[in-house]
Structure 1
Amino acid sequence: MIQEDRRTPVPSAGADERTTLTAMLQFQRDTLALKCAGLTPDQLKDRAVAPSALSLLGLVRHAAEVERGWFRNVLAGEESRSPWTSPGSTEWADFDVEHADADADFAVWHAECARSRAIVEAAESLDETGRLGDETFSVRYVLAHMIEEYARHNGHADLLRERIDGTTGE
């Protein structure tokens, strides 16, 4: 059963753009956490349907990777590497959860989210930019993209959770 809903409220009026975007992104992060709440490590690793490697823990790891990539590497100009992908490998290991440590993976995700929030808070404007290859991306774009990224995967999380224990909900 999903825990009490403690997601960050999103202001429906009267807030500036930064407040609205960051609250909406945090709401989406909170939604993923809510979908995972109360499950065992084995349940979190439970795969959707063969041949898919999709699992709730894989989604958490993927969310950490996307946070790291967009906020740290693109906006902050860092060269942070995935904790799950072997050095020199071109394979993403987000969804390779068979031997994963759920507590450690959630800690990585929470740390990446905190780092992302700090990067956004430090930006003087949503118009500040970062680069990925030859492309330039604004803080505004990254926030909007991350809302979309989480919303899409939260739909997956909802279906995974329903398959695991029948729990449905927002």
Structure 2
Amino acid sequence: MSDDRIDPPLAADERDTLAGFLDWQRDTLELKCAGLTGEQLRLRAVSPSGMSLLGLVRHLAHVERAWFRQVLCDEDVPWLWGKETNRDADFDDVDEASPEEAFAVWRGEVEHARTVSAGLPLDALGKRLRHGEAYSHRWILVHMIEEYARHNGHADLLRERIDGATGE
């Protein structure tokens, strides 16, 4: 695997630091999936977990949409992958899922999130309450870094079981 990720800045303001770390984590997910076939991306390689790399891509597309479009901007967009009837559909329903579609949707949500994020101050509050609370843009960015970091750990294990590839 060729690693073309850009390291987060070492000395930058808060916005650039948060954006740099989030983009690095996003790029890590893409790196963990690079060069695999659709069959390999669908493989639930770490038993007894039902996770797959494709499921992680679909899940993170949903998470990007939920936090940036729904919570931060109060956009009226549907959940992805049928999650309104099965909360685990992003992970469960990968056997016939299209990797091309999943990556296209994920990349689209990432680009939308970047655009939204660039236009808001870090202390802006989300326009939609979640669990009765308003979340700040800053909190959402930190949460997204955490979300990707946790799932990239899963992706490390999955990728190593699929073809032996390891790395940061």
Identity among equivalent pairs (%): 56
Higher strand share: 1
Secondary structure of 1:169 counterpart = coil
**Equivalent of residue 166 in structure 1, options 150, 155, 164:** 164
Q: Gapped runs of 5+ residues in structure 2?
A: none
1:134 is displaced (CA, Å) by 1.2
1:133 is displaced (CA, Å) by 4.2
Equivalenced residues, count: 165
1:90 is displaced (CA, Å) by 4.5
**Equivalent of residue 129 in structure 1, options 125, 138, 146:** 125
User: What is the distance in 1 between the residues matched to 2:151 and 2:90?
Assistant: 13
So what's the TM-score if we normalise by structure 1?
0.93
Q: Does 1:92 align with 2:96?
A: no
1:9 is displaced (CA, Å) by 2.0
Q: Does 1:76 align with 2:73?
A: yes
The code of the aligned residue for 2:164 comes to: G
So what's the TM-score if we normalise by structure 2?
0.94
User: What is the distance in 2 between the residues matched to 1:128 and 1:37?
Assistant: 35
Q: Gapped runs of 5+ residues in structure 1?
A: none
Greater CA deviation, 69-78 or 44-53? 44-53
| Residue in structure 1 matched with residue 98 of structure 2 by the alignment | 101
Secondary structure of 2:134 counterpart = strand
User: What is the distance in 1 between the residues matched to 2:119 and 2:35?
Assistant: 34
Q: 1:50-106 CA deviation, whole Å, 9 max, x = no partner?
A: 4421000000000001000001000011122123116x5253311120010000110
| Residue in structure 2 matched with residue 110 of structure 1 by the alignment | 107
Q: Does 1:33 align with 2:30?
A: yes
